[in-house]
Amino acid sequence: MNDRSDIQGQDALEHPHVERHSHAGHSQAPLNHPTVALVGNPNVGKSLVFNFLSGLYVDVSNYPGTTVEYTRGAYKGYEIFDTPGVYGISAFTAEEAVTRDVVLESDIILNIVDAVHLERDLFLTQQLIDMGKKIVVVLNFMDEVRKIGLEINTELLASSLGVTVIETTATTKKGFDRIDDALTKAHTGERPPALHHKLHEMLKLTGSEAEALLILEGDEATAQRHGVAPGHEREPLYIERRNRVNLIINSVLSERNVRTRIATLVGRWAVNPWTGIPMLFAALYLIYLFVGKLVADDLVDFTENTIGHQLWEPWIRGVIAQVIAPDSALGTLLVGEFGVITLTVTYLLFLLLPLVIAFYLSLAFMEDSGYLPRLAALVDRSLNALGLNGAAIIPLILGFGCVTMATITTRLLGSEREKTIAAAILQFAIPCSAQLAVVAALLAGAGFTVMVIYSITIFIIFVAVGTILHRVLPGSATPLLIDLPPIRFPRLDNVARKTAYRSYYFMKEATPWFFAGALGVGLLQLTGLLTVWQDLLEPFTTRWLQLPREASTAFVMGMVRRDFGAAGLYQLTLSQYQILVALVTITLFTPCIASFMVMMKERGLREAFVVWAGTWIVAFAVGGLLSQALL
Amino acid sequence: MQTSPVALSKAAKGSRLVILDIPEGRARSQLLRLGVTRGELVRCLERLPGGTVVILKHRQEIAIGVGLAAHILVAYAGTEK
C-alpha cells in the first residue's frame, strides 16, 4: 500500500531531485509522479496549504468562488493540484466540474477540512471515501476550535472514517510538517457494505469505483463518458451519507460552554439592515478616505507633479534632446504632447500605479474579512429587481478592480440570463480601478457637488441597464443560496501579497496598451488624422457635450483603455461641470479592448457587439443630456 | 411543540425551526450537503425585508433568497431562551 518511505526532508519550499515511483492499480502510466489533489469546501485553507507545499502563490480569498480553475505545482516526488472549493463532488456548478475531474485523475486526496464546521465539511470527506479514493484528512483551524470551546476527538474521527487525520492551523502553519509523513500513509477509508455492493454492480461498466459512484449519484458527464444512463440514486445516497456523518459528529464532537466570538457578532450585524447598511456606508467611506483622499489627493499630487512633471519629464527630455531633435517626427512621438516616454510613463507609474495599489488593497481587505457574502445577503432583494440575486454583488464589486477579470467571474452565476445581465452592467456602468483612479483624481479637483452628481448618474445607469434587461429577457432570477464564511481579521501578509500580485499583473497587462495607445495617438497627430477625427466628432464634442474639441482625442484613447481615455482628459482645461460631463461620458463609453475580448469569449460575438454599440449611444446621450441641463 | 407549517421566508427572526419540506431540485441536494434537510433543526438568524433569510445550522450560516425560502416549509420548534 505504501511505497514512498524514501521521501524525506522537511523544507517544503525546496524541490529536490525528481523521484519516480511505480504506482500500480491506477489508470496512470507507471512512471508518472503520484498526483495529490487538495480538495475541500470553500475557505478552508486549501490555497494556504498549496502555497506551503508548492512554494507557488495562488489567490486566497475568504469567500466562495475565488478559484475557478485548478492550479498545478510540484512537491517533492508528488505532483499536486489545488482545486476550487466545493461542498460535494458532482457538477452543480462550474467549479464542481473542475474539481470532479481533478479528483477522478488523482492518486491521493489531501482533504482539507474546516474543523469549526465539521458537520458541513465531512459530507465531502465521506463522499471522497465512498468514491474509494486514498485520503488524508487535514483538520484545519484547530486553534479556532479550541478558542470557541469545541472539542474534537481526532483519534476517534480517524478510526470512524478509517483514514489518517492530522491537526493543523493554517495561519501559523502549525502541523504542516506532518503532511509529508501522512501522505505516505494515505489509504482508502470505511464504506458501508450496502454501498460497496451497489458500486460492484456498476463497476463492470466503468472500471473505477469513483466513477461508478458518481454515475449512481446522477452525474451526467461521467455517465456520458461511459455511455450509460445517469442513475437516480442521488437523494437516497446523500441522505444515507448525511446520516452517517451526523452519527460520526455525535460521537467525536463535544461542545463545552461554547462562546460567541465578537467576529461572529460582527458577521450577524453585517446582515441586519439596521446595522448592516451603516456598516456598508462606513466601509465605503473608509475606502473613499483612503483611496480618494489620502492616495488620489495627497500621494498622487506628489508623485505625479513633483516626480513626474517636474523631475522625470524634463530629465528624459534633456537626455533625448542630445540624440534626437525634439521637433522631429520621432522626437514628437517620444517626448512630444502625447510622448511615449514622457506622458505615458508619468501616467503609468506616477498616477495609475499608486491608485491601483490602493484599490486592490481595499478590495483585498473586504474579500479576506468574509464581508462580501454577507453583503450578498444584504443586497439580495435589491438585486432581484435587476434580475440578479445577491451573489452577483461579487463580480460587480470585483469590477471596480478590473472589469475584464470580473466578466470572467460572471461564470459563477446561476443562469445564462444572470450572466448576460451582470456582464452588461459591468461593461456599461462599472468603472474599473484604473479608470476610477483617474476619475477620482479629476473629481477631487471638481468639488463635492460634481462628485455627487457623477455618482448618482452612474448609479441610475447601473439600475437602468439591469432593470431594462430584466424586463426584456425572458425568465426570472435564480434564488440565492450561499454559505457565509466566518468573519476573520484579514492576514496582513496575505493582503499584501495579493495586492502586490494583482497590481503587478494589472500593470503588466495595461502597460503595452498604454504605450501602443500613446504611439497611435501620436501617429494620428503627426499624420493630421487627429484633426480629421476631431472635425468628425466636432458636432458631438463641442455642441452636444459642450467640451473643447480636443476632448475627442480622449475618446480615441478610450477605445483602447477607458482609464487611458480618462487620463486623456487630464491635460484639458475644463470647468467644474465640463469635468462632470466629460467623466460621465468616458465612464459610460466603450469598455477597454481586453474586456471586450473577454466579453466576446464569454458571452459571444452578438452580445459583445450589441453592448459595445450600446455604450456609444448611452455615453453620448447621457453626457449630452447632462451638458444641456447644466452648462 | 411544533406548530403549523410556515414558509421559511416568513419565519420570525431568532426562532428555532424544524425543516418540513424543501422543493425538489439542485437546491435540495445542495442544502442536503450542508446538512439542512427534512427533520433537521435550524435557527433563523435574520429575516431581511423582502424575505431573504439567514439560517444557522450548527455553526454554519447560510443565506437563502426569497425565491427559494418561500418554498421551504418549516414549523416553529420553540423560541430560544
The ipTM is 0.93
Q: How confident is the model at residue A23 (pLDDT cuts 50, 70, 90)?
A: very low
Question: A120: which chain B residues are within 8 Å (Cβ-Cβ)?
Answer: 33-35, 57-58, 60
Provide the CA A122 distance to its chain's centre, in angstroms: 26
| Residues in CB range of A449: below 8 A, 6 or more apart | A576
Question: B54: which chain A residues are within 8 Å (Cβ-Cβ)?
Answer: 271, 377, 484
SS3 A117: helix
pLDDT at A13: 28
A233 found inside a domain:
no
Question: B63: which chain A residues are within 8 Å (Cβ-Cβ)?
Answer: 271, 373-374, 376-377, 380, 390, 480-484
pLDDT at A531: 83
A595 found inside a domain:
yes
Q: How confident is the model at residue A37 (pLDDT cuts 50, 70, 90)?
A: very high
Residue A57 has pLDDT above 80, yes or no: no
- For residues A345-373, give the mean pLDDT: 85
Pick from A125, A157, A190: which residue ends a domain?
Answer: A190
Q: Which of A377, A381, A390 faces B49 most closely, judged by CB atoms?
A: A381
pLDDT digits (tens, 9 = 90+) for A133-179: 999 999 999 998 888 888 999 999 999 999 999 999 977 888 988 99
| Residues in CB range of A107: below 8 A, 6 or more apart | A23, A26, A28, A34, A35, A36, A134
More confident residue, A359 or A5: A359
Alpha-carbon torsion angle A44, A46, A51, A57, nearest 10: -90
* Residue range(s) defining the domain that contains residue A544: 271-630
Distance between CA atoms of B72 and B81, rounded to whole angstroms? Answer: 25
A181 found inside a domain:
yes
On whether any CB of chain B is under 8 Å from the CB of A377, the answer is: yes
pLDDT at A296: 74
pLDDT at A385: 92
A119 found inside a domain:
yes
| Nearest residue of B to residue A121, measured between CA atoms | B34
pLDDT at A347: 79
Q: What is the pTM of this model?
A: 0.81
**A307 and A158, same structural domain?**
no
A39 found inside a domain:
yes
> By the 8 A CB rule, do A358 and A289 touch?
no
pLDDT at A66: 45
Q: Which range, A153-167, A196-210, A424-438, A472-486, is most confident?
A: A153-167
| Nearest residue of B to residue A88, measured between CA atoms | B33
SS3 A484: strand
- For residues A330-342, give the mean pLDDT: 80
Interchain pair A389, B45: CB under 8 A: no
pLDDT at A65: 45
Residue A18 has pLDDT above 50, yes or no: no
Helix (H) or strand (E) segment spanning residue A482: strand A481-484
pLDDT at B61: 93
A499 found inside a domain:
yes
**A180 and A40, same structural domain?**
yes
Residue B71 has pLDDT above 90, yes or no: yes
Residue A565 has pLDDT above 80, yes or no: no
| Nearest residue of A to residue B51, measured between CA atoms | A381
C-alpha cell at A306: 513633483
Question: Domain count of chain A?
Answer: 2
Distance between CA atoms of B27 and B22, rounded to whole angstroms? Answer: 8
Distance between CA atoms of B63 and B56, rounded to whole angstroms? Answer: 9
On whether any CB of chain B is under 8 Å from the CB of A235, the answer is: yes
Radius of gyration from C-alpha coordinates of chain A? 28
Helix (H) or strand (E) segment spanning residue B77: strand B73-79
Q: Which of A92, A119, A480 faces B52 most closely, judged by CB atoms?
A: A480
Q: How confident is the model at residue A256 (pLDDT cuts 50, 70, 90)?
A: confident
Residue A362 has pLDDT above 70, yes or no: yes
Interchain pair B48, A479: CB under 8 A: no
pLDDT at A9: 31
**A593 and A486, same structural domain?**
yes
Q: How confident is the model at residue A378 (pLDDT cuts 50, 70, 90)?
A: very high
SS3 A169: strand
Question: B45: which chain A residues are within 8 Å (Cβ-Cβ)?
Answer: 268, 271
Distance between CA atoms of A221 and A218, rounded to whole angstroms? Answer: 9
pLDDT at A344: 81
Question: A482: which chain B residues are within 8 Å (Cβ-Cβ)?
Answer: 62-63
Interchain pair B67, A234: CB under 8 A: no
A532 found inside a domain:
yes
More confident residue, A484 or A4: A484
C-alpha cell at A369: 474579512
Residue A29 has pLDDT above 50, yes or no: no
Scan residues 238-267 of A and list those with Cβ closer than 8 Å to B.
238-239, 242, 245-246, 267
Residue A603 has pLDDT above 80, yes or no: yes
pLDDT digits (tens, 9 = 90+) for A91-130: 887 778 889 999 999 999 999 999 988 989 999 999 999 9
**A294 and A148, same structural domain?**
no
**A180 and A294, same structural domain?**
no
pLDDT digits (tens, 9 = 90+) for B29-67: 999 999 899 999 999 999 999 899 999 998 889 999 999
For testing contact with chain A, the best of B44, B46, B55, B57 (most A CBs within 10 A): B46
A453 found inside a domain:
yes
Amino acid identity of residue A190, one-letter, is E
Q: How confident is the model at residue A425 (pLDDT cuts 50, 70, 90)?
A: very high
Q: Which of A87, A271, A376 faces B34 most closely, judged by CB atoms?
A: A87
Question: B46: which chain A residues are within 8 Å (Cβ-Cβ)?
Answer: 268, 271-272, 377
Helix (H) or strand (E) segment spanning residue A492: helix A492-527
Distance in Å, alpha carbon of A498 to nearest chain B alpha carbon: 27
Mean pLDDT of all residues in chain A?
Answer: 83
For testing contact with chain B, the best of A217, A480, A482, A488 (most B CBs within 10 A): A480
Q: State what percent of residues in chain A have pLDDT above 70.
A: 91
Pick from A157, A190, A223: which residue ends a domain?
Answer: A190
- The CATH fold of domain B6-79: SH3 type barrels. (2.30.30)
Distance in Å, alpha carbon of A364 to nearest chain B alpha carbon: 22
**How would DSSP label each residue in A205-227?**
HHS-HHHHHHHHTT-HHHHHHTT
Q: What are the boundaries of each domain within chain B?
A: 6-79
Pick from A160, A190, A220: which residue ends a domain?
Answer: A190
